[in-house]
Amino acid sequence: MTDPKTTTEMESAQASNAPKPAGASHLFVDLIVCVIIPTLILKYTSGDDRLGPTYALIVALSLPAAVGLWGFISEKKIGFVPALGFISILLTGGIGILKLPKEYIAYKEALIPGIIALATILSTYTKKPLVRLFLFNDTILDTEKVEHHLKSNGRTTEFDSMLRNATWMLASSFVLSSILNFLLAKWIVVSESGTDAFNSELGTMNLYSYPVIVVPCMVITIFTMIYVFKNIGRLTGLKIEDIVRQ
């Protein structure tokens, strides 16, 4: 007869040795630190009687920059998206501090998602397509189980074809983001860079960007995820609850 204590210890050991998915990002905290607080700093401390336009911009940009740097230090690698985000911060700060033409903001806002869209498409010709980073990774799915069943069923080629389709769908969300970013920046940022009004408009643009840009792009991304999950189930015979990380 098996000792209950021994059984419990064995189960604990198995649980501790089981592979654990990467932790989900603290989206709520990131939203507060990287968007809401910088926006409030830009809108309410840019006056000459407070921090002034230049210092308010530096302080506001330092928060998302610090978050990106911490992510780099903790993960010991340069992530593609964090790197682009850091570049975006530097470009925004440079435009404001160097007092470059305000039109540069619209170009910069369109540039970052445009680069991601292009990189997503080009990555399909490499061994590590970005669609795997965004949608088919160990954080979301039990990729080892999926790949095992794909090979067993002889459906790997069909799966790769499906991922290519998903890549174009995902890239379209970044193209849409690029267009909407450009239009939103042209509409809101009308003051010359380096001024109190310019910083306030940057803050307003950041607030509007979530309902105007993030929501439609999120709809496309969710649709793409459903497409990927549905086809994984069709090709492997697995149910969604069998492959999604809990």
pLDDT > 90: percent of the chain: 26
Of residues 183 and 31, which shows the higher confidence score? 183
Which among 97, 90, 173 has a CA at the least distance from the CA of 131?
Answer: 173
Q: Any idea where the domains of the chain sit in the sequence?
A: 26-243
> Which pLDDT score, from 0 to 100, does residue 202 have?
83
| Average pLDDT of span 147-175 | 91
pLDDT > 70: percent of the chain: 82
Asked if 163 contacts 22 with a C-beta cutoff of 8 angstroms, the reply is no
> Which pLDDT score, from 0 to 100, does residue 13 have?
43
Going by C-beta distance under 8 Å and a sequence separation of 6 or more, which residues neighbour residue 157? Answer: none
Helices (H), the chain: 4-17, 27-31, 37-44, 53-75, 80-97, 103-122, 130-134, 143-153, 156-188, 196-209, 215-236, 240-243
Residue 178 in 3-state DSSP? helix
Helices 156-188 and 143-153: crossing angle, nearest 10°? 140
> Which pLDDT score, from 0 to 100, does residue 27 have?
53
Q: pTM here?
A: 0.71
Six-digit token pair at 62? 């330092």
Of residues 78 and 243, which shows the higher confidence score? 243
The answer on pLDDT for 77 being more than 80 is no
> Which pLDDT score, from 0 to 100, does residue 41 have?
82
Q: Put residue 154 in one of left, alpha, beta given phi > 0 → left and psi -120 to 50 → alpha.
A: left
First to last CA, the chain: 33
pLDDT in tens, 177-228: 899 999 999 999 999 987 888 888 888 887 888 777 778 888 898 999 899 9
> Which pLDDT score, from 0 to 100, does residue 94 have?
79
Helices 37-44 and 196-209: crossing angle, nearest 10°? 150
* Banded model confidence at residue 22, pLDDT cuts 50, 70, 90: very low
Helices 143-153 and 215-236: crossing angle, nearest 10°? 50
Going by C-beta distance under 8 Å and a sequence separation of 6 or more, which residues neighbour residue 173? Answer: 217, 220, 221, 224
> Which pLDDT score, from 0 to 100, does residue 105 have?
92
Average pLDDT, rounded, for the chain: 79
> Which pLDDT score, from 0 to 100, does residue 8 have?
43
